[in-house]
Amino acid sequence: LKLGIMASGSGSNFEAIAQAIANHDLLAQLQVMVYNNPTAKAAERADRLGIPKVLLNHREFSSREVLDAAIVDVMRDHQVDWIIMAGWMRVVTNVLIEAFPRRILNIHPSLLPSFPGANAIERTLAAGVKITGCTVHIVELEVDSGPILMQAAVPVLPDDTLETLHQRIQSQEHRIFPRAIALAAVQFGD
Ligand code: GRF
């Protein structure tokens, strides 16, 4: 499996995937990491892990479609066959999805279809639910929709803050994302 990562922020899921590959828990290669935010910590991780990185700053593109076309070019240049959205904070368009049909995975910090979209953990806390979690799914056009590959449940504790709950969810994200990538390759072909 030749993976291309898309990240906007910390990149801890990116690193968990790199770690799973290094441990031989996931048979794959990381071809490239695309990021849109010049200050993303994910860029430092790519340097430390020795993985090529490409900055595509969304502010320098005239539309979502033009940005996505540039992402497609980078992924193709690096022979990527599966795209992994690991904390990619931009809405993607058909330009990306049609170039990699059923070959784009995303992770979301809730048990979809509950709490899709931005600020999912804030809204989870506000709703007062007692169980939440994370979901890995195939990306379709509607945000945080598409076939679900894997989920993990996480309890919401009485004194949870955004930070403590996010941390508990992220440890499950790091566990399931590499497994979901392997499962996707089996279920949806290589
Ligand atoms: C994760 O919590 C993921 O669910 C959401 O963005 C966050 C990315 O975290 N889509 P990181 O950049 O992988 O640390």
pLDDT of 180: 98
pLDDT digits (tens, 9 = 90+) for 123-173: 999 999 999 999 999 999 998 999 999 999 999 999 999 999 999 999 999
Cα dihedral across residues 178, 179, 180, 182: positive or negative: positive
Structure tokens at 139: 């990306």
- Which atom of ligand 1 has the smallest separation from the CA of 40? 12
The domain in which residue 92 lies consists of 2-188
Q: What's the CATH code of the domain at 38?
A: 3.40.50.170
How confident is residue 190, by pLDDT bands cut at 50, 70 and 90? low
pTM of the predicted structure, to 2 decimals: 0.96
- The residues lining ligand 1, judged by C-beta closer than 6 Å to any ligand atom, are 7, 9-14, 86-87, 107-109, 134, 170, 173
Nearest CA, atom 9, ligand 1: 87
pLDDT of 174: 98
Instruction: Quote the CA–CA distance of 118 and 97 in Å, as a whole number.
Output: 20
Number of domains forming the structure of the chain: 1
